[in-house]
Amino acid sequence: MSQAREKKRQVQKFLGKVEIVIDRCKGCGFCVEFCPTAALELSSHFNVKGYHPPRVVDPDFCSGCGLCGLYCPDFAIYGHRVGPNPHFKKEGATTQGTNPEVESKETKR
């Protein structure tokens, strides 16, 4: 895997879900190419048309942005957000999800 693709693979703030209509896919690879989080790759399996449809590499990588569906010429894939990702850790956030610096500035006003 290339370094640029490896950099894109991070646990995302939101959980996404990708729905793939395998029999409709023509294996063009647009969804894989334009996925900003590298959550997709072309599978080694063939569909009924003889093409390699995409597959989700790891569900934690998908943010549910929907770009896969926007670029698919055959409407064979779409993504959507399902909620916040419990595995996402933001620097500076407390367990309540607030930044203590912001809270102290707001209370001083």
**DSSP label of 42:** E
- What's the pLDDT score for residue 93? 44
State pLDDT tens for residues 13-41. 888 999 999 999 999 999 999 999 999 99
| Residues in a beta bridge with 2 | none
**pLDDT, position 9:** 65
Name all domains of the chain by residue range, CATH numbers in brackets: 3-108 (3.30.70.20)
Name, in order, each residue with C-beta under 8 angstroms of 59's C-beta and a sequence gap of 6 or more: 15, 16, 17, 39
Report, as an integer, the average pLDDT of 1-17. 69
Does 107 or 47 have the greater pLDDT score? 47
Residue 78 reports pLDDT greater than 70:
yes
